[in-house]
A and B are shown apart, each in its own frame.
Chain A
């Protein structure tokens, strides 16, 4: 994308030169990056809401199976299962907290071509 030779002496050049925007305008960059942060937040919120809704629906669909499982496992094994599930959730939340970085979400949605 080089300037073509015949345009270098263009008499209109001075007119165009007068309207050039400064090469770097920090205020403009800040505005853009703020808008990016807002969009990222909205996307994150939408993803979390969708995941939550999906989990609620899934839980509703699986409830009959869970009921049957609870009956067949009996009370001691069911308690153990609940303890394992809660421990897993706490461990996941702890890991997410320790590795929190808005630029690098724990779940890499790009891998799944979602975002």
Chain B
């Protein structure tokens, strides 16, 4: 029986120079990291560039990760810090990318409409609240894990999630 290698095993292999192991780490976490970044970035087009930078930073700093089992939260922590850092430098490109999105949006599916509605609603939340909502409501993280990643007190995360949820439901016209 051959199971999937654990995060700790992949981290150990990647640390000793295995590109294949690092590629598996990228495959394993690209979707949640990119989804998280798409939700917290005001402009979705920034998200994949930041995600690429997140994995590159992770490769460079892999030896600083004490416990390979914490890989997921470590990656999300990098993503959160990176998104805050690069938000300003990305600003210059926004007008150009927005023009591209305007073209894209004309021929999209109902799923895309829902996604765009959510994106627009998320941009109306403060940055910290948006990140807490993206992790806990969209990503299914526990409040405690999210607090660790976002480096916020547990109570603050709970409050952000609760207020963010209420605000999103108001904006989207959803009742729960």
Could you tell me which A residues sit within 8 Å of B by CB distance?
1-4, 7, 10-12, 14-16, 18-25, 28-29, 31-33, 35-36, 39, 103-104, 110
Contacts and interface: CB of A to CB of B under 8 A. Distances in A.
Contacts, number: 110
B27 A12 contact: no
A15 B117 contact: yes
Contact of A18 (B15, B72, B112, B145): B112
A28 B51 contact: yes
B159 interface: no
Contacts of A3: 140
Contacts of A29: 23, 26-27, 30
A7 B140 contact: yes
Contacts of B111: 18
Interface string B112-152: 10110111010000000000000011101111010000000
Interface in B134-176: 136-138, 140-143, 145, 165, 168-169, 172, 174-176
- On chain B, which size bracket covers the interface? 35 or more
Contacts of B169: 11-12
A66 B35 CA distance: 63
A36 B142 contact: no
Interface of B: 15, 17-19, 22-23, 26-27, 30-31, 34-35, 38-39, 48, 51-52, 55-56, 59-60, 63, 72-73, 111-112, 114-115, 117-119, 121, 136-138, 140-143, 145, 165, 168-169, 172, 174-176
8 contacts: A19-B115, A19-B138, A25-B31, A28-B30, A29-B23, A29-B27, A32-B56, A35-B55
A2 B114 CA distance: 25
A94 to B, nearest CB: 22
B95 to A, nearest CB: 23
Given A18-B115, A32-B55, A103 B17 contact: yes
Given A4-B140, A19-B119, A36-B22, 17 more contacts: A1-B145, A7-B137, A11-B169, A11-B175, A12-B165, A12-B174, A14-B114, A15-B121, A15-B174, A16-B138, A21-B38, A24-B27, A35-B56, A36-B55, A39-B60, A103-B19, A110-B63
A9 B162 CA distance: 15
